[in-house]
Amino acid sequence: MQYISTRGDSLGQYCDVLLEGLAPNGGLAVPEQLPHIDAATLERWRSLSYAELATEVIGLFATDIPREDLARLCAAAYGGGTFAADEVVPLRDIGEGMTLVGLSEGPTLAFKDMAMQFLGEALEYVLAKSDRVLNVLGATSGDTGSAAEHALHGRDRISIFMLSPQGRMSAFQRAQMYSLHDDNVHNIAIDGVFDDCQNLVKQLASDLDFKRDHSIGAVNSINFGRISAQIAYYFWAWLRATDALPAQDRTGFEVSFAVPSGNFGNILSGYYAKRMGLPVRKLVLASNENNVLDEFFRTGHYRPRSAERTLATSSPSMDVSRASNLERFVFDLLGRDPQRTAAAWQELDTRGEIDLSSEQHRLLPEFGFVSGTSTHEDRLATIRTFFENSGVTLDPHTADGAKVARDHVEPGVPMLVLETAKPQKFADLIAEALGTPEEMDAATRALLDAPQRVTDLPDDEQVLRAYISERALH
């Protein structure tokens, strides 16, 4: 399979885009053509383990990795006790017509582990094959950083520089990242918000000389490797949700997915799964108070907020104003026209917004998207309600997803709510919602008490350049 940039130009095959991150022309890597999965293939996949299913799905995109090698990478990523649940992704009925898709069974208790564990294995494989090193540069609003660092720490050919916004993550999220003291892990707290961190990453990644000279790559969701791995769990969730149906009723049986959304990578993966043939009725996008994406899907106007106007909320991993992955969807919305896509992002850079209101009427019937916003009070009430009615404690981001999903539950159409993280990562918010915090186990207490190592830097591109230049692998 070949890959192209959303702004034009060929980018090569899967292993090429795995190491590249942002395309040289500033666009994002997308498949030249998405594969199609028919009903017979879906049924053949039904008996597979999660690692085996991931091999099949990712293999459609990673055609330049021999199948036996890919199977080994997926077995290493999803086997060996890395995930707490034997099935890796368990499904659980939580009432109100909703099913929780358990994506947070990995080492950092967040859905980001699902893709990051694979990406760690795949990057090491590609680097060893080509005798190269990689300096990963990323930005995190909460969970991406810890998942990336736990997947990459201690690896010889990879160094990771992870930017996070000072004071904008939970104590648990900070501890998961800053307590790693491996020589190849560099935690950098930027004086700003997540979008400032993300802008710094893009500035350095768009400098092709700096990127080449320092072997800079990415592991956040601009890396298509992450997207390909996330597509797998949409297929898994559909298969498990339809297991109990008579065989003759499974073909074409639709489900809906509710997805808490910040940088748009998670729900984009569901959109690709739908385009590949997975029977998906609705993709329910849930925003928090930073509801730029909700506004876009309701009106067609995309208006990212400034750093000063980006709110610090109680679902901090969704405190994103400018969603990197939206460009991949807009590329499709504009007929996969790279010139129109590049022009739209030029308009965004110059005017601060994109007006696609003329296309808004297509978002639900053609692409399946609906959206909504959840507030602090909404997530508190949602956490309380589901705890009282089902005994399940939702983390604040998943609560946003469940709250927005309520407006879109339809009789006979399962609503699958994608879990974002485990609630113990947000003990203060859970205590506020339920009156008492999640009981802290010994491992959590040890994590919170562990020494932390982080470097504070200003929101300054030149300072960051110098820091990376002194520490990058060569």
Residue pair 71/55 in contact by the 8 Å Cβ criterion: yes
Contacts of 108 (CB under 8 A, 6+ apart): 143, 146, 147, 150, 176
Following DSSP, what letter does each residue of 326-339 receive, concatenated? HHHHHHHHTTT-HH
**How far is 211 from 209, CA to CA, in rounded Å?**
5
If we measure between CA atoms, which residue out of 135, 59, 63 comes closest to residue 469?
Answer: 135
Instruction: Determine whether 112 is an active site residue.
Output: yes
Write down the H helix ranges in 153-311. 171-178, 194-205, 208-213, 224-241, 247-250, 265-275, 292-299
Q: Of 112, 282, 403, 422, which residue is the catalytic one?
A: 112
Contacts of 294 (CB under 8 A, 6+ apart): 285, 287, 371, 372, 373
| Host H or E run for residue 381 | helix 376-390
| CA quadruple 112, 54, 224, 400: dihedral sign | negative
Following DSSP, what letter does each residue of 10-64 receive, concatenated? EEESHHHHHHH-S-TTS--EEESS-----HHHHHHHTT--HHHHHHHHHHHH-TT
Radius of gyration for the chain, computed over Cα atoms and rounded to the nearest angstrom:
21
Give me the phi and psi of 237, to 5 degrees please: -65, -40
Give me the phi and psi of 208, to 5 degrees please: -65, -35
CA-based end-to-end distance of the chain: 30
Number of other residues whose CB lies within 10 A of the CB of residue 233:
26
If we measure between CA atoms, which residue out of 145, 141, 143, 177 comes closest to residue 319?
Answer: 141
Following DSSP, what letter does each residue of 426-465 receive, concatenated? GHHHHHHHHSSPPPP-HHHHHHHHS----EEE-S-HHHHH
What positions carry a catalytic annotation? 112
